Amino acid sequence: MLIVQKYGGTSVGSVERIRAVAEKAAACKDQGNQVIVVVSAMSGVTNNLTAMAYELQKQPSPREMDMLLSTGEQTTIALLSMALQAIGCPARSYTGGQVRILTDNAHTKARIREIDSDKIRHDLDQGKVVVVAGFQGVDEEGNITTLGRGGSDTTAVALAGALKADECQIYTDVDGVYTTDPRVVENARRLDKITFEEMLEMASLGAKVLQIRSVEFAGKYNVPLRVLSSFEDGPGTLIVSEEDLMMEMPLISGIAFTRDEAKLSVVGIPDVPGMAFKVFGPISDANIEVDVIVQNIGADLTNDITFTVQKKDAEAATRILEKTATEMGARGVKVDDKVAKVSLVGVGMRSHAGIASRMFEALSKEAINIQLITTSEIKISVVIEEKYLETAVRALHNAFGLETAPA
């Protein structure tokens, strides 16, 4: 079998850990498999490099940022190859550019366009373990690019797709995908399986265990994907298509949350056509992504429009809104970055009523005020005050009985 294994930052966080990873990869090869290993930077390295960049410049150039951050993964591939060779396992390391993971030129958030698998195949056929740097690629002009935080997951899945691997194994510091972040809810439960669609929602709503794009890619190209611990043995969590889950479908699979959003409101907007466009046009022109949107008509027949953006964009969005508000004769702009978004995810919602009211009941029992609500086919999200985040997640986890597996 051809297996792609990916090890995250904590899993390769020290020389000792790199040795342990080498043992795991070599054992997989000794079982008769061909093995490609994708690694992240050692834990903390990407953050440290980023901090140094921001000490030098307020807005470092994205190209230089990629040049800098890619060094984290380059360190790990070399060390891991050495660790493999030291235990008698032939290995060879490659940067993203060397195996030609070709991306577009959107520095710091590049997308993979194409992977040249010839070199990797050649090495695999010679019995080598191929070690590839995660998170990085190269554009048409030869500039180093990176794929966004958590991007090593996507490198692994893309390689697995390109080489038609039998399984892509994401090794991390938890032993699978849980009903919610096990660091927040102690009795969170590991899921044996979760559908691509639910995993995609969980990832985009804040569960960082897998990068969104890696799940998107795995779903699209049907890459068998499993999340496991690099610290202990176990079956992990298999990400499957909905047909494979069939009868086992739970109502709610998990709870995701994020502190990364800020809430902005334009209040007292004249109630005439075209105002929403006036509000969001300039925001979208500035390339700011908008999440939850709510519009309400007040007693005085003016509108309030409230929405969320990523915290990093809040300042820029506020400046734009203040200008818009003046132009359109609105009463003003309000900003709140002490908010959090909590989301319930489950494909079972499609066929069951009453989930939202159960969610609101659980939050009301904790006296948590809901500021915004948004729903889609398989998720319900609420925006609440940030300080209640953990209480809310625990209350919802209990209310939906997520700690016990459905019978």
Query: Alpha-carbon distance 209 to 229, whole Å?
Result: 11
180 lines the binding site for ligand ADP (CB under 6 A):
yes
Q: Are the C-beta atoms of 63 and 32 separated by less than 8 Å?
A: no
Query: Alpha-carbon distance 343 to 320, whole Å?
Result: 28
Q: Are the C-beta atoms of 369 and 342 separated by less than 8 Å?
A: no
70 lines the binding site for ligand ASP (CB under 6 A):
no
Which one, 139 or 219, has the nearer CB to ligand ADP? Answer: 219
Q: How far is the CB of 111 from Mg ion (least distance, A)?
A: 18
Residue whose entry in the numeric block shows the structure tokens 């577009």:
104
Which one, 72 or 150, has the nearer CB to Mg ion? Answer: 150
Closest CA to 402 of 322, 366, 348: 348
From the CB of residue 364, how many other CB atoms can be counted at a distance below 10 Å? 12
Q: How far is the CB of 150 from Mg ion (least distance, A)?
A: 4
Partner interacting with residue 149 (select from Mg ion, ligand ASP, ligand ADP, none; CB below 5-8 Å by kind):
ligand ASP
Q: Which residues pair with 36 in a beta bridge?
A: 4, 130
137 lines the binding site for Mg ion (CB under 5 A):
no
Q: How far is the CB of 172 from Mg ion (least distance, A)?
A: 7
8 lines the binding site for ligand ASP (CB under 6 A):
yes
Q: How far is the CB of 301 from ligand ADP (least distance, A)?
A: 43
Q: Are the C-beta atoms of 378 and 198 separated by less than 8 Å?
A: yes
- Residues 139-168 contacting ligand ADP, CB under 6 A: 150
Q: Residues 209, 252, 355, 384: which binds ligand ADP (CB under 6 A)?
A: 209
Terminus-to-terminus CA distance in the chain, angstroms?
A: 34
Which one, 187 or 310, has the nearer CB to Mg ion? Answer: 310
> Helices (DSSP H) in 91-162: which residue ranges?
118-125, 152-162
Q: Residues 207, 212, 305, 320: which binds ligand ADP (CB under 6 A)?
A: 207
172 lines the binding site for ligand ADP (CB under 6 A):
yes
Partner interacting with residue 177 (select from ligand ASP, Mg ion, ligand ADP, none; CB below 5-8 Å by kind):
ligand ADP
Q: How far is the CB of 353 from ligand ASP (least distance, A)?
A: 39
Residues 6+ apart with CB under 8 A from 396: 255, 342, 344, 359, 362, 363
Residue ranges binding ligand ADP (CB under 6 A): 8-11, 40, 150, 172-174, 177-178, 180-183, 202, 207-209, 254
